[in-house]
Chains A and B, each alone.
Chain A
Amino acid sequence: MIEQRAVTTPLDTQQPLLSVRDLRVAFPSEAGRVEAVRGVSFDLHRGKTLGIVGESGSGKSVTSMAVMGLLPDYAAITGEITLGGRNLLDLDDRQMSKVRGRQIGMIFQDPLSSLTPIFTIGDQIAEALQIHQDISAAAAAKRAVELLDLVGIPNPDRRAKGFPHEFSGGMRQRAVIAMSIANDPDLIIADEPTTALDVTVQAQILDVLKTAQRETGAAVIMITHDLGVVAGSADDVMVMYAGKPVEHAGVDELFARPRMPYTIGLMGAIPRLDDRARDALTPVPGTPPLLVDLPDACPFAARCPVVQDACRETEPPLLAVTGSDGDGHSAACRRAAEIEDGAIGGEPIYPVPALRENRVAAVPREDRPKVLELSGVTKTFPLTKGGLLKRKVGTVFAVNGIDLDIREGETLGLVGESGCGKTTTLLEIMGLKPPEQGSIAVCGQDTADLKRKQDISSVRRNMQMVFQDPMGALDPRMTVFDILAEPLRAVGERNSKVLAGKVAELMELVGLDPEHRDRFPAAFSGGQRQRIGIARALATRPQLLVLDEPVSALDVSVQAGVINLLNELKAELGLSYLFVAHDLSVVSHISDRVAVMYLGRIVEVGTTDAVFDNPRHPYTKALLSAIPLPDPVAERTRERVLLKGDLPNPTDDRPGCRFVTRCPLHLTLSEPQKERCRGVTPQLTEREERDHQDACHFADTPVSVDH
């Protein structure tokens, strides 16, 4: 078999396509010289995929930009990047421009801003072709259409004449992929290609990327913070921390036998759909170090639970792990050989924090009071046309008759793609005004009855909000003390002694040191800022917290700590949460009940276990199957329900199921059944299980692509 391989494989498979040796990148800054990348080495073979995983600031993007030659002039780059026998670092911008786009294609994170707004999509792809190939404009335009077709853009000849603002995020990312593979590159670098996209679109894009790789036979560097994405797409994985690779192994080996405490920490910190039995996540304490004047020590030492004195004496190099059966597994840890299955000598490196028992949960759900009740809430926006005299030409049904209830001490997760009406629902609830249609009741008080100012503020005390962006939500010119005292003062607390005591209490409650009360938000890390935001929301002792994507802006290792904190607070204070998120793994971990929204309507609602274990609506099934699992074996074997297209605009209120245009189940139905989907609006209906409703006429019909 070895002989056969030597005959059939071209010579260059033994010689790596891309070889990076001791790459170092430093930037000057006001704080000193920032060493963003501190010695990265790897080989990448043709047709293979290398996943680079790390948190923000780990140097993964800087590494890829160095390969592309796109770093600014003031960056000091040393080392060697060999592609096809040439050291790319020796080339100037003009020579490098012959390599970029021709040999290396790149896909960027934010598809909304990575296309020039004033050129058509087709022209931008044609430009990529004409830079490197001597072809006519007509031939380039024709090829651009073919490329758009390849990446799955319907009606490519028409869409090629469209401008970026006419494309959705997923469509634009497809166009960027088309551009990156236009010249049949040897290497594709994808820098967080799906981070800005919805989970169903992410699944589509990862699929397109695989198609692109198959068509071009290119090697891929996949940069991401999402271990699930890596598990599904990479052959090799390199974990980066503080500008250095700290572990490098084949994808199966890495996920099965991680050797570096940081990798183990990352894996323990992510909530997983396939492992919801876990009680608490294991956060990695602390934050990554600043990359200025790093001492000669393991950069992870300050956060490592199994640190020894010797770790602080010298920085461990990335060495092959002895005793591992997989070849090419290396880790930068002195104790790598001792670590087995996330434990040293049988003791887990990250002990699972004990979960507090939720006292309220002992009372059956029906007997607990409702803290929030929505019935038939509708919110519409007029769609207008014309400049001076605006004519109403339609209505956007952002929220279309939804019913929800949250009882004391429970968490309701509200999930759905962007544009499905989650945020509008939140705003309707927080506005404390009677909705257009239906009613909202907070702690038994109908918002239609709130006439006087005192009534409104007393209800508002009971319901507080935590925002997505922890920096934007805190006034940078107020100290933590002022931020936390403000809501207390607003409800009439004047005594400074009492205020000081309450602020200290709040800070302790969310795991912050009360000594830090005079600091400004800028002095805290992202996770700590989100804790300040939570403490502020708790100041008025509310019964209900409305959390809008509270962890999506945080790094994985920090996110786990905030999720655990929310779970603890719920148990300790008997809080109820309305938790809005697009990340279903997070929702599955924190919620007692889940409501799935699609185009302004709730399509499925029930207990978390019921919805996640036994999803009934085809949309819920598709959403769940789109989530990448951080388990390479499971990723390879499972079957996906890929949704086609994007979320349509909710501009009509005709009867019928709104999911009809994308529904995989709908396609398998008989004609009279299809007629029913289109003509009769499905209502939320309870079937075999209690507290599990879905809005699908044919939820019991098995789908062939079901997993």
Chain B
Amino acid sequence: MPGQPDLDSLRSPDLRAEYAYAHIMKDRLTVLRYIARKIVGWFLMIAIATNLTYFLANAFLKPASNYTALRPPRTPAQINRSLALYNLNPNKPITDRWWHWISQIVTHFDWGQSPTGGSVNDQVAYRIFVSGQLVLGSTILSIVIGVGLGVYTASRQYKASDRVLQGFSVLSFNTPSAVASLGVVFAAIALNQALGSTLLPVAGAQSPDVSGFWSVFGSRATHAILPTISLTFISYAGYHLLQRSLLLDHINSDYVRTARAKGLTRKQAIYRHGLRTSIIPVATQVAFAMPALFTGAVITETVFAWHGMGEYFTKTISTNDVHGVVAVAAFGALMTAIGAILADLAVVALDPRIRVS
């Protein structure tokens, strides 16, 4: 193979270093190729998962139930005719329905309709935006607060501040989402009543009566405050406890001591040498938590009356919305893939050794 070094020449450490050096020069290309390979793999995974969900959903969900309670009652033939409009007719062979469904996605990126005719694409597009608004803010806050507290408490291990903050985090870690959300709501209501005006709105993603870019933006921002607080409250502690224990493994390591011996203060040595090595597993964790956050904020969305992906997830199941369920599953798989690729990129960015080997 051309370019393959003769192994005998690798016997000397010098030549090995030379080889490694050449590798670093090629690393950008290597990373790109690596990511491309990952994307192809994940794409296949998403396709398989989505198709499997399609067959499972068709086997278990009965879209006809949406019509059985209607008055005047419809005959099964009428119901099937209605369902046939949305490619949900149970009398049509599943393979034919699947072929129609998949060709619509491939040719028009049309994910189908709900049993009552609503477009899945419209719902998902709108809800991703709502969920993103809810999740991104709280995720970033959780990471910043969690990692920050982890570093702060790790460098003050067993001191009063460490014990107090850790106790608080254990408490918040174990608080059910509903309790946290309702607690935040009650506190906000009390605050609003004390102030005599609605400083912090407790329901909805925006006020219905605003218009104009800046007013909508402001309304959305104020509406997002409370759900973000409650989501952050329940999710930051995981990062805090993880970062604390990882950093503690590194704080007393020989190389942090070497860094101090070079002339760094304890704090600088921890930040420059201990933190970067210990944050790699946290980055992986964050990336993989993303999909769960998007569809997992069901309770928070319910309490604050936000119509996000979490709510859609439960709603599509309860309404026997086959196409909606499949779209949610596909979305979850896509987020997992993005999370995994982000995790890989984060590790490559943080740990230069990966690029060499």
Interface residues of A (CB under 8 A from B): 68, 70, 93-94, 97-102, 105-106, 108, 110, 113-120, 127-128, 131-132, 154-155, 158-159, 161-163, 165-168, 171, 176, 179-180, 182-183, 383, 393-394, 645-646, 648-649, 651-652, 654, 661
Q: Is the CB of A114 within 8 A of B257?
A: yes
Give the complex CA separation of A393 and B6 in angstroms: 10
Task: From A105, A119, A166, give the contact of B356 (CB < 8 A).
Answer: A166
B10:A127 contact, CB within 8 angstroms:
no
Confirm or deny: B266 has a beta carbon within 8 angstroms of a beta carbon on chain A. yes
Minimum CB–CB distance from A316 to chain B (whole Å) comes to: 35
A116 touches B265 (CB 8 A): no
Whether B261 and A661, one on each chain, are in contact in the complex, defined by CB atoms closer than 8 angstroms, is no
Contact B254 A113 (CB under 8 A): yes
* Distance A93 CA – B170 CA, assembled complex (angstroms): 32
Contact residue among A101, A110, A162, A651 (Cβ-Cβ distance under 8 Å from B263) = A101
| Cβ-defined contact, B277 with A97, below 8 A | no
Contact status of A161 and B255, CB under 8 A, knowing A68-B261, A118-B276, A118-B352: no
Selected interface stretch from B12-20, B78-86, B92-100: B12-20
- Complex: how many Å from CA A390 to CA B257? 39
Q: Can you report 5 A-B residue pairs in the complex whose CB atoms are below 8 A from each other?
A: A131-B263, A132-B263, A171-B13, A651-B8, A651-B11
The smallest C-beta distance from A120 to any residue of chain B, in angstroms, reads 8
A46 CB, nearest partner CB in chain B, Å = 21
Are B273 and A116 in touch, CB under 8 angstroms?
yes
User: Among the listed A102, A106, A171, A649, which residue makes an inter-chain contact with B11, where contact means beta carbons less than 8 Å apart?
Assistant: A649
Q: Which chain A residue shows the least CB distance to B351?
A: A118
CA distance A98 to B13 in the complex (A): 36
- Distance in angstroms from B9 CB to nearest chain A CB is 10
Residues of chain B from 17 to 36 with CB closer than 8 A to chain A in the complex: 17-18, 20-21, 24
Residues in A neighbouring B255, C-beta threshold 8 A: 113-117
A113 to B259, CA, bound (A): 12
Residues of chain A within 8 A (CB-CB) of B264 are 97, 101, 131
Most chain A CB inside 10 Å of its own CB: which residue of B259, B268, B352: B259
Residues of A within 8 Å of B259, CB to CB, are 116, 127
Collect the chain B residues with CB atoms within 8 Å of residue A383's CB.
7
Closest-by-CB residue of A relative to B350 is A118
Residue among A102, A106, A182 facing the most chain B CB atoms (10 A cut-off): A106
A653 to B303, CA, bound (A): 72
Which residue in A100, A113, A162, A393 is a CB contact (below 8 Å) of B261?
A: A100
Name the interface residues of B237-288: CB closer than 8 Å to any CB of A: 253-255, 257-268, 272-273, 276-277
Q: Are B21 and A161 touching (Cβ within 8 A)?
A: yes
A158–B24 CB distance below 8 A: no
Cβ-based interface call for B353 (8 A): yes
Contact partner of A166 (CB less than 8 A), chosen from B11, B17, B258, B265, is B17
Give complex CA distance A1, B41 in Å. Answer: 83
B353: chain A residues within 8 A (beta carbon): 117-118, 163, 165
Give every chain A residue within 8 A of B273 (Cβ-Cβ): 116, 119
Give, as a whole number of angstroms, the nearest-CB distance from A599 to chain B. Answer: 10
A128 to B262 CA separation, bound complex (whole angstroms):
5
The 8 A CB mask of B29-71 against A (1 = contact, 0 = none) is: 0000000000000000000000000000000000000000000
| B contacts with A, residue count (CB < 8 A) | 37
Q: Which 6 A-B pairs have the closest CB atoms?
A: A101-B263, A113-B254, A106-B261, A128-B262, A648-B11, A101-B262
A101 and chain B: residue at smallest CB distance: B263
Inter-chain contact B277/A652, CB cutoff 8 Å: no
Q: Which residue of B lies closest to A95 (CB)?
A: B265
- Knowing A117-B277, A649-B11, A651-B8 are in contact, say whether A97-B260 is a contact too (CB < 8 A): yes
Partner of B21 from A158, A168, A652 at Cβ < 8 Å: A158
Is B254's CB under 8 angstroms from A97's CB?
A: no
- Would B7 and A651 count as touching, CB distance under 8 A? yes
Expressed in whole angstroms, the Cα–Cα distance for A56 and B115 within the complex equals: 78
CB nearest to A168 among chain B residues: B13
B18–A158 touching, CB < 8 Å: yes
Report chain A residues within 8 Å CB of B24.
161
CA distance A168 to B11 in the complex (A): 13
Shortest Cβ distance from A113 into B: residue: B254
Complex interface: chain B residues within 8 A of A118 (CB) = 276-277, 350-353
Residues of the A chain whose Cβ atoms lie less than 8 Å from the Cβ of B14: 154-155, 158-159
Known A116-B255, A166-B20: A646·B13 in contact at CB below 8 Å: yes
Q: Is the CB of B18 within 8 A of A155?
A: yes
The answer to whether A179 touches B10 (Cβ under 8 A) is: no
Residues in B with CB closer than 8 Å to A171 are: 13
Q: How far is the CB of A137 from chain B (nearest CB, A)?
A: 15
Is A176 in contact with B352, judged by CB distance below 8 angstroms? Answer: no
B85 to chain A, nearest CB (A): 47
Contact B261 A648 (CB under 8 A): no
> Which interface residue of A118, A167, A176, A393 has the most chain B CB atoms within 10 A?
A118
The residues of A that contact B12 with a CB separation of less than 8 Å are 645, 648, 661
B254 contacts which chain A residues (CB < 8 A)? 108, 110, 113-114
Closest chain A CB from B31 CB (angstroms): 15
In the complex, the chain A residue whose C-beta lies closest to that of B273 is: A116
How near does chain B come to A47, taking the closest CB pair, in angstroms?
21
Q: Are A155 and B11 in contact (CB under 8 A)?
A: no
Apart from A117-B277, A158-B17, A652-B8, list 4 A-B contacts with CB within 8 A: A102-B263, A114-B258, A116-B255, A120-B352
For residue A346, give the distance in angstroms from its CB to the closest CB of chain B.
49
For B253, give the chain A residue with the smallest CB separation.
Answer: A113
Instruction: Give the complex CA separation of A162 and B263 in angstroms.
Output: 23
CA distance in complex: A99, B277 (Å): 26
**Residue of chain A at shortest CB distance from B267:** A93
Contact A100 B10 (CB under 8 A): no
> In the bound complex, do residue B7 and residue A393 qualify as a contact, i.e. CB atoms below 8 Å apart?
yes
- The complex places the Cα of A100 from the Cα of B351 at a distance, in Å, of 28
In the complex, how many angstroms separate the beta carbon of B126 from the nearest chain A beta carbon?
42
Chain A residues closer than 8 Å to B351, beta-carbon distance: 118
Task: Report the minimum CB–CB distance from B68 to chain A (whole Å).
Answer: 52
CB distance from A614 to the nearest CB of B (A): 31
Q: Which residues of B have CB within 8 Å of A154?
A: 14
Contact B277 A108, beta carbon cutoff 8 Å: no
A180 partner, pick from B7, B11, B261, beta carbons under 8 A: B261
CA distance A163 to B265 in the complex (A): 24
B residues within 8 A CB of A176? 258
Query: Please, how many angstroms separate the alpha-carbon atoms of A114 and B253 in the complex?
Result: 8
Chain B's closest residue to A165 (CB) is B353
User: In the complex, what distance in Å separates the CA atom of A481 from the CA atom of B277?
Assistant: 45
Cβ A108 vs Cβ B258 within 8 A: yes
Chain A's closest residue to B277 (CB) is: A118
User: What residues on B are CB-neighbors of A179 within 8 Å?
Assistant: 258, 262
Asked if B11 contacts A652 (CB within 8 A), the reply is yes
Q: Are A108 and B257 in contact (CB under 8 A)?
A: yes
The residue in chain B whose Cβ has the minimal distance to the Cβ of A395 is B7
- For A646, the closest partner residue in chain B by CB is B13
Known pairs A161-B21, A649-B11; A93 contacts B261 (CB<8 A): no
- Tell me, in angstroms, the Cα distance from A93 to B270 when the chains sit together: 13
Q: Nearest Cβ in chain A — how far from B33, in angstroms?
A: 13
- Bound complex: CA A179 to CA B272 (Å): 17
A162 to B7, CA, bound (A): 19
Known: A114-B255, A158-B17, A649-B10. A163 touches B262 (CB 8 A): no
Minimum CB–CB distance from A221 to chain B (whole Å) comes to: 13
Q: Which residues of B contact A115 (CB under 8 A)?
A: 255, 258
Question: Contacts A158-B14, A158-B17 known; A98 to B263 CB distance under 8 Å?
Answer: yes
A99 to B16, CA, bound (A): 37
A286 and B254 alpha carbons, distance in the complex (Å): 32
Residues of B within 8 A of A161 (CB): 21, 24
Chain A, Cβ-Cβ closest to B269: A97
Does the CB pair A100–B263 fall under 8 Å? yes
Q: Is the CB of B7 within 8 A of A394?
A: yes
Q: What's the Cα separation between A97 and B17 when bound, in Å? A: 33
Complex interface: chain B residues within 8 A of A102 (CB): 263
Name the residue of chain B whose CB is nearest to the CB of A127.
B262
| Across-interface contacts of A94 in B (CB, < 8 A) | 265
Min distance, Cβ A518 to any Cβ of chain B, angstroms:
36
**In the complex, chain A residues whose CB is within 8 Å of the CB of B266:** 93
